[in-house]
Chains A and B, each alone.
Chain A
Amino acid sequence: MIGAMLGEAWLAMGTNRLRTFLTMLGMMIGVGAVILILAIGKGAQFMVDQSIAAMGSNLFIVMSGSTTSGGLRMGLGATPTLTIADGQAISELPGIVAVAPNAPGTAQLVYGPNNWSTQVMGTTPSFLEVRDWQLSAGYPFSDSDVRSATRVALLGQTVVKNLFGDEDPVGKTIRIKNNPYHVVGVLAPKGQSLDGRDQDDTVVVPVTTAQRKLFGTQFQGTVRLIMVQASSPQAMPAAERSITELLRQRHRLQEKAESDFMVRNLTALANTAAETARVMSFMLGAIASISLLVGGIGIMNIMLVSVTERTREIGIRLAIGARQRDILLQFLLESIMISIAGCVVGVALGIGGALLMNRLADTAVLITLSSVLLAFMVATAVGVFFGFYPARKAARMEPIEALRYQ
């Protein structure tokens, strides 16, 4: 019975093709817009998520803080106050998984005829763990390299590209500030950070090597910052308090003295960015769904016209034994079919638009199966919702009056 009714609904749609098309147009535009905007939103979210994953999860950064000397307040990190020993002490706190002190600086690298200026980061092997950073070749340096301040280096992808080209850098020797360093490994690509910095443009060396042999004058036994990874997002607030407490104790700060360090919760910042992306795509989606609503009203309008036009047909059907629900179902199926047909074209338009954007603009546009399914569900719901009133009007006709209608 449903099969026969679907066939008739199809015929009814084909009877007035232009009108059916114009009715569908509303749905097409609405669904297309929703699909496209969901795709843009998902793309943005995907990029943010990737940046967060690249950064490492549950991350604090403890910065060397501002100090005041003679009324002159220095900026963050200007006067290094943190030491490797501070890092070790933090790593023994509960809820802390890994700690990586960080002594960065800029240096000129040379390999053969090529040279490249980049950020050189002195740290410990646990840096890779904290940042969730894999090696694409070679091995990381070890704690014993840190103890004896050996000249070993891990190169980021951008550095490899600029110094080595296609050559395999592992086992080679580069010169940093004119001293030879043995390349033991290559970092896997990380891409851009949330602020757009190229994270692959970096060299990692043991922190002691950086302190004593590279930036000796700048960091006399100190580090600029310490990266701290907590065991879980829930553990972060408590960890932040205990880090602050511990460092104030270790730095012998008095009750009212300003802290000479600063604890920053990076994950919270990243989550805010992700949340912003989510809210934005939600709001845009809400605006796009208004056009779905308008499309639905268009369907209702045309169905009302159609019911009036086909009053006599309804009368004939009632006379030969159609029940109210048969008529209701028939007109509902028609509006659902128009709505779904519009949706199919709309999905195609949305996907086409998204692919075009991927091509033309350099933004990630991500179409998910769930957004397509959602569009179909909404289209069906629109068909039912806006088709119901006209269908009920048809079903409630009195047979004799419908038959007499001219």
Chain B
Amino acid sequence: MDKEPIIQTIGLGKDYLTAAGPVPALQEISLSIYPGEFVAIMGPSGSGKSTFMNLLGCLDIPSAGEYYLNGTSVRTLDRNQLARLRNDAIGFVFQGFNLLPRINLLANVALPLIYAGVSKAEREERAQQMLDKVGLGKYGLSLPGRISGGQQQRVAIARALVNRPRLILADEPTGNLDTRTSQEIMNLFTQMNREQGITVILVTHEPDIAAYAMRLVRFVDGHLAYDGAVGNDTQGARP
């Protein structure tokens, strides 16, 4: 890979402060992810994979090490600049969908564009396009509570993509979904990765889901335990 990495971490660490003192959740993580990669992050509960995702998403601040997003050290950015990155460089997909319950699907999808300062007409047009793309174009005026979990997750993906980020971070996006719906969602991720070259990083418990990725990163006890092709991971192989 001759391109610059989209993500590069050097000795990244995160401690959580508890009453008993700082507890390390993540230690000495150094890895690079290049544009167009599809990476699955696995590991048991408490292994630090979600912490790692939060750091990558600029939602949390590292306690140690460096994180370069598109070559820029995130440490040097202030809150507004981080907000800007989350708005136009990164798209988030959460396990719990995290749609706003009061506003309709179209408005949910258009939300990032409000903070990007896009005009009302363009917001609506682009949000509608994204809804069409995830196959929910007809439901724009419904509220999130009126559609199924799989549909909600597709809306969340539409929201993540609407401001055309080059990086999608998905934290257990299929965790609340049944197998068939999970496949649909994973097909969407695969499609955007292949057709638009969007870098996808997703956290998952399930090897079936991880199998959609090209590269697997495994965390154990806050350390990087495996980084390589999906098939070669021996530690994670089921008994």
Contact of A320 among B79, B86, B103, B123 (CB under 8 A): B86
Alpha-carbon separation in the docked complex, A399 to B59 (Å): 6
Per-position 1/0 for A302-323, Cβ under 8 A of B? 0000000000110011111111
Q: Does A240 make an interface contact (CB < 8 A)?
A: no
Residue of B83, B88, B94, B102 most packed against chain A (CB within 10 A): B83
Expressed in whole angstroms, the Cα–Cα distance for A64 and B218 within the complex equals: 112
Alpha-carbon gap, A400 to B82, bound state (A): 13
Contact flags (1/0) for B107-132 with A, using CB distance below 8 Å? 00001101111001001000000000
Question: Which A residues lie within 8 Å of B103 (CB)?
Answer: 8, 11
| Contact present for B112 and A320 (CB under 8 Å) | yes
Q: Which residue of A lies closest to B99 (CB)?
A: A316
Other-chain residue from A312, A323, A398, A400 in contact with B115 (beta carbon distance below 8 A): A323
State whether the Cβ of A257 lies closer than 8 Å to any Cβ in chain B. Answer: no
Q: Say whether B115 contacts A319, CB under 8 Å.
A: no
Nearest-neighbour CB distance to chain A for B31, whole angstroms, equals 21
B39-97 contacts to A (CB < 8 Å)? 54, 57, 59-60, 79-80, 83-84, 86-88, 92, 94
A30-48 with Cβ < 8 A to chain B: none
Of the candidates A4, A15, A319, A323, the one whose C-beta lies within 8 Å of that of B59 is A319
- Among residues of A, the one whose C-beta sits closest to the C-beta of B114 is A4
Q: Mark B161-187, 1 if CB is under 8 A from A, else 0.
A: 001000000000000000000000000
**Distance between A63 CB and nearest chain B CB, rounded to angstroms:** 77
Report A-chain residues with C-beta under 8 Å of the C-beta of B123: 4
Across-interface contacts of B92 in A (CB, < 8 A):
319-320
B83-A318 in contact (CB<8A): yes
B100–A316 touching, CB < 8 Å: yes
Docked CA distance A316–B100 (Å): 8
Interface size on B, residues (CB 8 A): 27
Assign chain A's interface to a size class.
20 to 34
Interface check A1, CB cutoff 8 A: yes
Q: Cα distance A398–B60 when bound, in Å?
A: 8
Known contacts A319-B59, A399-B59: does B80 contact A324 (CB below 8 Å)? yes
Q: Indicate whether A196 reaches chain B with its CB closer than 8 angstroms.
A: no
Chain B residues with Cβ under 8 A from A1's Cβ? Answer: 114, 117
Do A400 and B54 have beta carbons less than 8 Å apart? Answer: yes
Q: Which residues 351-406 in A have Cβ within 8 Å of B in the complex?
A: 398-400, 403
- Nearest chain B CB to A398's CB is how many angstroms away? 8
Bound CA–CA A311/B27 (angstroms): 29
**A400 CA to B80 CA, complexed, in Å:** 15
Chain B residue nearest to A14 in the complex (CB): B102
In the complex, B159 has a CB within 8 A of chain A: yes
- Among A4, A319, A326, chain B packs the most CB atoms within 10 A around the CB of A319
Q: Kindly list chain A residues whose C-beta atoms are within 8 Å of the C-beta of B80.
A: 323-324
Q: How far is the CA of A313 from the CA of B144 in the complex (A)?
A: 14
Residue of B nearest to A399 (CB): B59
A89 CB within 8 Å of chain B: no
* A11 to B104 Cα, complex, angstroms: 11
A294 part of interface (Cβ distance < 8 Å)? no
How many interface contacts (CB-CB < 8 Å) are there between A and B? 65
Chain B residue at minimum C-beta to C-beta distance from A326: B115
B142 to chain A: which residues have CB within 8 Å? none
Chain A residue at minimum C-beta to C-beta distance from B119: A1
B100 touches A313 (CB 8 A): yes
Indicate if A286 sits at the interface (CB-CB under 8 A).
no
In the complex with contacts A313-B100, A400-B60, A321-B88 CB distance below 8 A: yes
The answer to whether A287 has its CB under 8 Å from any CB of chain B is no
**Is the Cβ of B163 less than 8 Å from the Cβ of A321?**
yes
Are B120 and A322 within 8 A (Cβ)?
no
With A4-B120, A15-B102 as known contacts, state yes or no: A320 contacts B57, CB within 8 Å: no
Tell me which of B60, B100, B120 has the highest count of chain A C-beta atoms within 10 A of its own C-beta.
B100
Instruction: Give the distance in Å from the alpha carbon of A222 to the alpha carbon of B7 in the complex.
Output: 110
Of B54, B79, B112, which one neighbours A323 at CB under 8 angstroms? B79
With CB as the reference atom, state the residue of chain A lying closest to B102.
Answer: A11
Query: Which residue of chain A has its CB nearest to the CB of B80?
Result: A323
- B232 near A: Cβ within 8 Å? no
Q: For residue B100, which residue of chain A has the nearest CB?
A: A313
**Any A CB within 8 A of the CB of B32:** no
A12 interface contact, C-beta 8 A:
yes
Q: Which residue of A lies closest to B110 (CB)?
A: A4
CA distance A392 to B88 in the complex (A): 24
**Nearest-CB residue, chain B, relative to A312:** B98
Give Cα A313–Cα B79 distance, bound, in whole angstroms: 18
Interface flag for A3 (CB, 8 Å): yes
A168 to B142, CA, bound (A): 78
Give CA–CA (A399, B94) in the complex, Å.
14
Q: List 14 A-B contacts (CB under 8 A).
A: A1-B117, A319-B57, A319-B59, A319-B92, A320-B111, A320-B159, A321-B87, A321-B115, A321-B116, A322-B83, A323-B80, A324-B80, A399-B59, A400-B60
